[in-house]
A = this chain, B = another copy of it.
Amino acid sequence: MSTHHHLQSGRRRLSSHHFLDAADDYVAGYAILGSANIARKLWKAMFMSGNSRVVCVASRDTARAQAFIDECQALLPFPQAPEAVEGYEAALARDDVQCVYIPLPTALRKEWVLKAAASGKHVLVEKPVGLNTEDVQEMIQACIKHNVHLMDGVMFMHSARLQLLQKTLPSLGPLRRINSEFCFKANEAFFQSNIRCSSATEPLGCLGDLGWYNIRLTLWAMNWYLPVRARGCLLKENADGVPYEFSGELLFESGCSATFFCSFLTHETQLAVLNGEEASVQYSDFVLPLPGRYLYFDVNHQSYPQEGLDQVVHSYSERHHVQEAGYGHPSSQEACMVRHLSDLSREGGGETTKWPEQMLKTQMVLDAVLLSARAPGRGVGGDGGRE
């Protein structure tokens, strides 16, 4: 199959490049806990990463794990078929597993992150990482104690686009406003059955599932400074208090402010706007990149000079590209994410504080906007945002 051949080629090319200086052919073995839908994308990412493989898929029900494996192997087979194992503990006990991918419901994550760490496994955990900041701190402490890496599944952090944007940010001048939206309109089946709507499994609702990305992008743009004030508005929640639509505003000491909007009720959008004093950046796929072999963002300039009797509008945009596939390719952000963790999972694979710090701050801001929303009339921190 030509597509498969192409993917395999891409994999070899990237992995040989990636391991140019490597003395061995280290391939990290992953256990996938559960068979959440997102795990299909991660299966492919592990395949494409060039330095990772799925060793096993664990489920309370072995048949379910086997069905998941069969489905994925039929589409993109690992040379050595992953094994279906009964129970998550069994996966953690295996010597051929170096990393554990945990897409379990948020309410279960802490337990299994702690157990994975205690088993000496590196952890890739879905977002939101925890139910609250305390849980995340506990997870981080456990991973530090057991000397394992902990990374949350925010794929865009691993995109070359973000690196290019980082280099471009200074040309915007000081940032003054960050504006992001991440929404999808869920169907009735989602609201009836999906774990994302149950307060028992996903009490953070759209804020955890979507707002996590808004907050993360904002903190990234602010170079990880925490806001001095955070305000949230629960625009819609279900009877159990699970957020369905949420807006937040963050104020930073630099004078920059940020607004974000996330929703299960609004048509799909993933707009990111960074307004600086000298220019703006805008792109419409900040979480899930558009298809194709290039990702981009636009740097926008406008001016409104008076010319004769006219107030003229001048406008120009520079589109900045990186050569990176939107998804499902060795170059795509989810493959880079897995490749990155697999690299770290080697002995002496790098410092262990970068990703924990980012996820902790994300969770702290998430907690703050939610607290603000549930105590209407007061933001968290600061003096009301006035100068």
Contacts from A to B (Cβ < 8 Å):
37-38, 40-41, 43-44, 72, 75-76, 172-173, 176-177, 179, 181, 183-185, 233-237, 245, 247, 249, 251, 255, 257, 259, 261, 263, 265-271, 273, 275-280, 282, 284-285, 288-291, 300-304, 306, 308-315, 326-328, 373-374, 376-379, 383-387
- 3 cross-chain pairs, A with B, having the tightest CB-CB distances, nearest first: A376-B384, A268-B302, A44-B309
State A237–B279 Cα separation when bound (angstroms): 22
Q: Return chain B residues, CB-CB under 8 Å to A310.
A: 41, 44, 327-328
> Separation in Å of the A338 CB from the closest CB of chain B?
13
State A310–B334 Cα separation when bound (angstroms): 11
| With A277-B266, A384-B376 as contacts: A41 and B302 at CB distance below 8 Å | no
| With A233-B385, A278-B267 as contacts: A313 and B285 at CB distance below 8 Å | yes
State A230–B291 Cα separation when bound (angstroms): 39
Residues A300 and B247 in contact, CB atoms below 8 Å apart? no
> Separation in Å of the A375 CB from the closest CB of chain B?
9
A-B pairs with beta carbons under 8 Å apart, 11 shown: A72-B309, A173-B267, A177-B263, A179-B259, A233-B384, A247-B257, A259-B261, A269-B280, A271-B273, A374-B386, A376-B385
> Separation in Å of the A103 CB from the closest CB of chain B?
13
- Nearest to A302 among chain B residues (CB) is B268
Residues A179 and B181 in contact, CB atoms below 8 Å apart? yes
Give the residue of B41, B247, B301, B383 whose beta carbon is less than 8 angstroms from that of A309.
Answer: B41
State A176–B173 Cα separation when bound (angstroms): 32
Q: Return chain B residues, CB-CB under 8 Å to A314.
A: 291
> Separation in Å of the A217 CB from the closest CB of chain B?
16
> Separation in Å of the A303 CB from the closest CB of chain B?
6
- Nearest to A269 among chain B residues (CB) is B280
| With A183-B275, A309-B41, A385-B233 as contacts: A247 and B259 at CB distance below 8 Å | yes
State A234–B233 Cα separation when bound (angstroms): 18
Residues B315 and A327 in contact, CB atoms below 8 Å apart? no
